[in-house]
Amino acid sequence: MVKYLPSHGVRPSVLTVSNPSVPVTDESLLKDLPTDLEVIRARTFEPAYGAKKAAWEAQTETKPTLKKRAVKLASGFARQLMYPDVQMLWVPGASAALARTMLSAPPDVVLFSGPPFSPFLLAPLAHTRSAVVLDYRDEWSTIRKTYEMTGSALARVIGDPLEALLLKRADMVTTATEEFRLGLLERFPFLAPDSVVAIPNGYDRDDFPANLPGPPTDKLVISYVGTIFKLVSPQGLLNAVRKLHAREPELAKLLHLRFIGRIVDSELPFFEGMESMGVERVGYVAHDEAVKALATSHLICVLLDEVDGVERIYPAKIFEAMAIGRPTLTLTPKVSALARLVQKHKVGDLLTPRDEEGICTYLVAKLRAFRDGDRGVPAPTSVDIESFDRRNTAGDFARVMQQAIARRRSG
């Protein structure tokens, strides 16, 4: 967003963390930042990522040691208190940095983007002197039900009331999908419909130079790029590959299915024994390398598993598939925002994520066509995707910011 906001009359500055507790970093993305961008950094009290990982592993251990039982007990207690997320340990430092800004040079508007949603707790402070926009790239309610806050008594008690309190401090609200928007208006009737605007994720045209490599001719390559976790579990796809190898072993040798990105521990068991079936786990790579991987694919896999809340979600990679011009194999519930997006913009083929028979049949047909000579680079299929170009979505955000300023001034 900060790359293109200046071209729409907005001079951005960023408040972020100085010591992030994260599994991976990608320094290559720094090239997208304006050279004169002001970046304010505040420390977080979060534990190092290794400590977080140890706590998660202790939670899933079937026969934990005494030490791991102690870690499990302590981390479970902490999860009850760390609401809305563990990044709330950044809020004290961020509050101090934001307060200094509010006193010295308050901005016209402050946009808080989640997840994580703990930065939304800063909205009342910002609203003392600035207009406020709350930006939902995910649903707070879905995060509570699906991710790390599942089972939190604190989340059940204060989740909706706290979200309502913070929404009342917002002059405008943005959501990643129209489905998010309608759900928010239904849950919080006090919101004015014209104060909630859907702005999708998108793609940056600069990420896709014309000289990108094409797919190979000896293997049919299907690539998934992104983190694998509960929401995007590939168990249906992997089981379909197992069926493929059992039924068509010679044909199956032509398939190269690769997963590029981090795989959380809970999903690793589904990958056991898959290396011999042409399934590759690449791990995390820099964004430029991920783009090349998409370019060298015959199909890009876009995935949402059968999990509560996915019917309102678009994975961000669907937009990069549009921009790069490779068709997708989209695995998602048929009645969902993603399915409607794929069908409307002719992004590719659509199957349900747990339909192992259907996916296996689809792979057999694709591999037979590939074996019989259909090995060229697929022609671009997507239509009417210009609205997802980040040059345009940045303009949408700029207009929302102007509306927030106007609403605040009018009371």
Asked if pLDDT for residue 13 goes beyond 80, the answer is yes
Asked if the structure places residue 356 within a domain, the reply is yes
In 3D, which of 148, 192, 146 has the Cα closest to residue 167? 192
One domain, residues 304 and 180: no
* Average of per-residue pLDDT across 92-102: 97
One domain, residues 197 and 262: no
pLDDT at 78: 54
Asked if the structure places residue 372 within a domain, the reply is yes
One domain, residues 271 and 402: no
pLDDT at 176: 94
One domain, residues 17 and 141: yes
* Average of per-residue pLDDT across 63-92: 69
Asked if pLDDT for residue 64 goes beyond 90, the answer is no
- Name the pLDDT band for 14 (thresholds 50, 70, 90): very high
* Average of per-residue pLDDT across 303-324: 89
Q: Model confidence over 21-54: pLDDT tens digits?
A: 888 888 888 999 999 999 999 999 988 877 666 5
Q: Model confidence over 148-194: pLDDT tens digits?
A: 444 456 666 677 899 999 999 999 999 999 999 999 999 999 999 99
Number of structural domains the chain divides into: 2
pLDDT at 289: 92
- Domain encompassing residue 187: 5-43+82-202+390-410
Asked if the structure places residue 70 within a domain, the reply is no
One domain, residues 352 and 400: no
Asked if the structure places residue 189 within a domain, the reply is yes
Q: Which of 40-54, 335-349, 356-370, 381-395 is predicted least confidently?
A: 40-54
Within 10 A of 374 (CB to CB), how many other CB atoms are there? 12
Asked if the structure places residue 51 within a domain, the reply is no
pLDDT at 378: 61
Buried b / exposed e across 122-137, counting CB within 10 Å, b at 16+? bbebbbeebbbbbbbb
One domain, residues 342 and 268: yes
In 3D, which of 216, 233, 215, 178 has the Cα closest to residue 324? 215
* Dihedral sign, Cα of residue 278, residue 279, residue 281, residue 286: positive
Asked if the structure places residue 66 within a domain, the reply is no
Q: Residue 114 CA to chain centroid, in angstroms?
A: 10
Is pTM beyond 0.75? Reply is yes
pLDDT at 164: 95
Report the CATH number at residue 168. Answer: 3.40.50.2000
* Average of per-residue pLDDT across 320-340: 93
One domain, residues 283 and 401: no
Asked if pLDDT for residue 71 goes beyond 90, the answer is no
One domain, residues 20 and 111: yes
One domain, residues 280 and 190: no
Alpha helices by DSSP H, 234-301: 235-247, 249-252, 287-295
φ/ψ of residue 37, rounded to 5: -70, 130
One domain, residues 380 and 362: yes
Asked if the structure places residue 195 within a domain, the reply is yes
Please report, as a single letter, which amino acid is at residue 363: L
Asked if the structure places residue 57 within a domain, the reply is no
One domain, residues 219 and 241: yes
Q: Are 408 and 131 in contact (CB under 8 A)?
A: yes
One domain, residues 342 and 367: yes
Residues 177 and 285: their CA atoms lie apart, in Å, by: 28
The conformation of residue 190, written as its DSSP 8-state character, comes to T
